[in-house]
Structure 1
Amino acid sequence: MKPLIAAALGLALLWGCSAQQPARDDSLYQALGQRAGIQKIVEGMLLNIARDPRIVEHFRKIDIARLRDKLVEQFCVEAGGPCVYTGDSMAESHKGQHLTRSDFNALVEDLIKAMEAQNVPVPAQNRLLARLAPMRGEVIEK
């Protein structure tokens, strides 16, 4: 009886180990140039914001290096990459800033310019924007 139990356990282990996990869709992550590409996009966006009189004031007292790092993490996660976001929630990090729809739209325009500068295909741009869009409600007028 013991050999039969051992064989059954062995088969169960073998079967469990060979079962494949569902593949993660990282096609957007790839289209954005993986982590290095995402970092270039974020840095370009931050440079665009620095030159954007519509919203630059919102970033004057921000630790830009930390913001860059957290945005890279967040974009990487949203794109299906192998990252973990370690920052605050959008609601928490924008609390008390009273950002308007116009502020949000200006930031999106600066992001699009950064993606265009990195030659990110328009379909990939749209996919990233669609994944980020739900955050709008957590950011504006808070």
Structure 2
Amino acid sequence: MYPRLTRTLLAALCLCGLGACSSMPSASDSLYQQLGGKAGISKTVTMFLYQVVDDDRINHYFAGVNADRLQKRLTNQFCQLSGGPCHYGGDNMHKVHAGMHLTDADFNALVEDLILAMEKRRVPISAQNRLLGKLAPMHAQIVGK
């Protein structure tokens, strides 16, 4: 049904499980650099948020959210997760999503929107998979809370 999504999610899950066994990339091969540094991550997050706003499956969850604040927090979160010099100072994912009762379908829609934003920014698939692998463990902190 979604071959690209399936491929990417499977790769992300594999990366998540095998991350401890693989060697660390060199500085020039860092995920942070592959994502374009903080400026590239910020552009990707902005595109991602535009995708979410246009996504009728999940955009209602973002009604009333301060978009500038969310953009800055997600940029810092992705930057930190990718090995960049940023610090995510927001709440943990469990607290942020408490009482929302999000489903796997909601989570998957968000992932699809992130993938579309990364594709539009021409982020290499290997970098997409590595970032998704860093984000995948958050599923348990978000879905059903």
Please say whether Structure 1 and Structure 2 have the same fold, judged by a TM-score greater than 0.5: yes
- Percent identical pairs in the alignment equals 52
Who is 1:46 aligned against?
49
Name the structure 2 match of 1:30.
Answer: 33
State the alpha-carbon separation in 2 of the partners of residues 94 and 69 from structure 1. 18
Deviation at 1:24, TM superposition (A): 8.6
- 1:65 Cα offset (Å): 1.1
- Give the count of matched residue pairs: 120
Q: Does 1:72 align with 2:68?
A: no
| Superimposed CA distance per residue, residues 84-106 of structure 1 (whole angstroms, 9 cap, x where no aligned partner) | 11100000111111111000000
Please, what TM-score do these two structures have when normalized by structure 2?
0.80
Q: Which runs of 5+ in 2 are unaligned?
A: 1-24
For 1:24 and 1:121, locate their aligned partners in 2 and report how far apart those are by CA, in whole Å. 16
The gaps in structure 1 that reach 5 residues or longer are 1-22
Q: Distance in 2 between matches of 1:124 and 1:30?
A: 9
Aligned residue for 1:105? 108
Superposition map of 1:1-142 within 5 A: 27-142=30-145
Change (3 A) 1:67 1:24: farther
Other-structure match for 1:13: none
Higher relative contact order (CA 8 A, sep 6+): 2
Letter of the 2:78 counterpart:
F
Cα displacement (A) at 1:64? 1.2
State the Cα RMSD in Å: 1.5
* Displacement of 1:55: 0.2
What is the TM-score normalised by the length of structure 1?
Answer: 0.81
Q: Which amino acid aligns with 1:71?
A: L
User: Are 1:24 and 1:80, in contact at CA under 8 Å, matched by a contact in 2?
Assistant: no
